[in-house]
Copies of this chain bind each other. A is one copy, B any other.
């Protein structure tokens, strides 16, 4: 099957154990993650040949980030080594009415300060069939945005399918900046992935009648959003994840896939007792890319992606450590949680 490359930042994630607040803990769980890296791990878990591309310092912390990916079978041979620091994010897990909290310390990371010469896209994309990035990558800085554009142009030349998860991060750039830069990149994208708010935040495209904080979703509205995106950028597919957040432990989760004509809606999962919702969107992206590459029909592809990301919410860390068999089992209707002996 097609080799996939994802491109972005992988950060050191530092999180107090359990439900401790930052001010209580004496140790921080140290794992690694980031939107595109998370997708690469999903794909490797599903058996695809997936490579993650970034820049990481030569020191031991940089190496730990590499190891965290190799461990799950991601090809790290294209990672550029250099720069000074690994980006960091601090994560405090919330519960119920107390929200989870993220503090970013990612400025000046190796990838954020990388230059175009660091990446030889012709070589990197040799033999590759699918390229994935998220809106976080160009948001890291003008330099990285330009590197993205280089990559996308090379993809176009080589006929590589491109997917992008809009993933707007307000602490990285303003809506205006996002719109300007993303508008330049979108024409190269074939599959656009977004959550309920991204289209509005990045492109000002809204669906009437949906209040994100209210927890109520308007299906027609989302189809309209997807259609506007297709009209504007010519995407082949637009996927939108639909999260209804009842509390930090309890979300409803579903998604829509639109092919420019029909909107497919998935089953909705009531996700209680959430273990870790960071990376939920990325796990959807990973499931969708896997499904499309492996030739599933659109409804099946969507259902696989949603079931995969449902399971992610029950797994610690950014990475969605589930196999195709485990996703398929949930799809098959066994959400009873009976012990598998």
Q: Is the interface of A mostly helix, strand, loop or mixed?
A: loop
A275 interfacial by beta-carbon distance below 8 Å: yes
Confirm or deny: A245 has a beta carbon within 8 angstroms of a beta carbon on chain B: yes
Choose from B63, B102, B246, B340 the contact partner of A337 (Cβ within 8 Å). Answer: B246
A45 to B183, CA, bound (A): 44
Does chain B have a CB within 8 A of A177? no
What is the minimal beta-carbon distance from A32 to any residue of chain B, in angstroms? 11
Using Cβ atoms and an 8 Å threshold, which residues of chain B touch A18?
Answer: 18, 316
Q: Is B336 touching A246 in the complex (CB atoms < 8 A)? A: yes
Task: Tell me which of A14, A73, A315, A337 has the highest count of chain B C-beta atoms within 10 A of its own C-beta.
Answer: A337
* CB closest chain-B residue, reference A214: B336
Task: Identify which of B24, B84, B314 contacts A94 (C-beta below 8 A).
Answer: B314
A108 contacts the other chain (CB 8 A): yes
Q: How far is the CA of A176 from the CA of B102 in the complex (A)?
A: 41
Interface residues of A in 1-46 (CB under 8 A from B): 14, 17-31
Binary flags per residue of A94-108, CB closer than 8 Å to B gives 1, else 0: 111111111111011
Tell me, rounded to whole Å, the shortest Cβ–Cβ distance linking A206 to chain B.
Answer: 18
B249-A98 in contact (CB<8A): no
Q: Are A273 and B95 in contact (CB under 8 A)?
A: yes
A170's nearest neighbour on chain B, judged by CB, is B341
Distance (whole angstroms) from the CB of A311 to the closest CB of chain B: 5
Selected interface stretch from A64-72, A116-124, A141-149: A64-72
Contact between A339 and B24, CB atoms less than 8 A apart: no
Whether A60 touches B24, Cβ cut-off 8 Å, given contacts A246-B336, A337-B248, is no
Interface residues of A (CB under 8 A from B): 14, 17-31, 59-61, 63-64, 67-68, 70-73, 84-86, 88, 90, 92, 94-105, 107-108, 169-171, 213, 215, 245-251, 269, 271-273, 275, 277-278, 310-311, 313-317, 321-322, 326, 329-330, 333-341
